A and B are shown apart, each in its own frame.
Chain A
Amino acid sequence: MSTIAVIDYGMGNLHSVASALEHVCDSKIVITSDVAEIEAADRVVFPGVGAIRDCMAEIRRLGMDRVVQKAIAEKPVLAICVGMQALMAHSEENGGVDCINLLPGNVRFFGEGLTDATGEKLKVPHMGWNQVKQIDHPLWQGIEDNSRFYFVHSFYVKSDEPSLVRATCEYGLSFDVALAKENLFAVQFHPEKSHTAGLQLLKNFANWDGKA
């Protein structure tokens, strides 16, 4: 039986990710920060919630930055929300935090005074179901383009390398909500909370061999 390791670095609830994965595949799901266990897994999920400074501190303290880097070179990895942001070069959150720097680009604040095309004020955090514009990748299989996924975040990712972008979203501005590089697929939204479309993406991940 194949195994999916959900990396636990102590920043919040991983129950949702694990139970959604259990719902869509037969793989064994382990929630762990044990290096050997993550290295032995067939696939890895790198989640994250909360503030980036605390997340990065725990990621580094537990050596998860190196573990994730190694995993990405070897097997399919799915990064979710702050997990995606942590892979970028730098985040504006908490006064500026250097991140793992496996993906080129930065994490920026949506800003106050964000408005839509009609001038209507937009709330921050960007919270709720928004449409995701796909760019071809195996993980979008069986998911209609522009399907809505559940987001909750105040900071957004902008890749410096356009060829890595696998989905975008609009909220006062256009930003990147999926990036792919070799074995890595990183998303800003929460597939584990995105009902049918999210479960399909997790199912695709559980079957993905890691090649774009």
Chain B
Amino acid sequence: MALAKRIIPCLDVENGRVVKGVQFVDIRDAGDPVEVAKRYNEQGADEITFLDITATHEGRDTTVHTVEAIASEVFIPLTVGGGIRELDDIRTMLNAGADKVSINSAAVKRPEFVKEAAERFGSQCIVVAIDCKKVSENKWEIFTHGGRKPTGIDAVEWAVKMAEYGAGEILLTSMDQDGVKQGFDLGVTRAISDAVAVPVIASGGVGNLQHLVDGVKEGKADAVLAASIFHFGEYSVPEAKEYMAEQGVEVRI
């Protein structure tokens, strides 16, 4: 008996539509985030992360409705990230049915925001997302603006600080690896997982199922997040879990 390592499909959503495309064989509207979330729920995903990349204010209302629609049909945890800048943004998403929110650049801009958020809503619903790049051997730096802007902040030190400020979980994305399909950056995943007491979700770079296993076994991640391998039907969530179980990883089947 042990806690299962979680598998988390991630949806990038813009103006109420899943972008990057999702290709399930028997799904009518592949761009509808509610349909996609329901499918992952049926497949046995352990959580769903919904990353809102909508730029406009009007579009944000659409996002709230989408979150409401998902939450009324999907009975597994739902994390919403993207554009979370104020306590009101968090309240709006939680009221819409999100279980957790993911805070990224707003934390870099003003770290106290994480503290205020955790005090107001509880650490259990505050995820801090960290986007980093490797800058030298065993050294990773936080980048913002889609990886274009270096911040000079050390990723491991930042993770420790965010956990101290009340983050209940760390969502770690290696921007070197993101989309390259060469696997997670296991070095930074391991370094952060060893340094903090809270769970770490590894993200960025999954190209095959062994990468998920490596993230857990070598990176010591508590959960693995992936988008494209699931979206394009290369692997289903049950296939991923079966493979991980064969490799000795505790999963929920």
Contacts and interface: CB of A to CB of B under 8 A. Distances in A.
A23 interface: yes
If over half of B's interface residues share one DSSP class (helix, strand or loop), that class is named, otherwise mixed; here it is loop
B220 to A, nearest CB: 8
Interface stretch (A33-41, A71-79, A189-197): A189-197
A12 B2 CA distance: 29
If over half of A's interface residues share one DSSP class (helix, strand or loop), that class is named, otherwise mixed; here it is mixed
A131 interface: yes
Interface residues of B, number: 37
A16 B99 contact: yes
B71 A16 contact: yes
Contacts of A194: 75-76
Interface string A1-43: 0000000000011011001101100000000000000000000
B122 A123 contact: no
A63 interface: no
B124 interface: yes
A112 interface: yes
Interface stretch (B18-26, B90-98, B108-116, B206-214): B90-98
B67 to A, nearest CB: 10
21 contacts: A12-B122, A15-B72, A15-B97, A16-B71, A16-B75, A19-B72, A23-B73, A49-B122, A50-B122, A116-B2, A123-B222, A126-B3, A127-B222, A128-B223, A130-B1, A131-B1, A133-B1, A152-B168, A170-B2, A194-B76, A198-B75
Interface of B: 1-6, 41, 44, 46, 68, 71-73, 75-77, 94-99, 121-125, 168-169, 194, 197-200, 222-223, 252
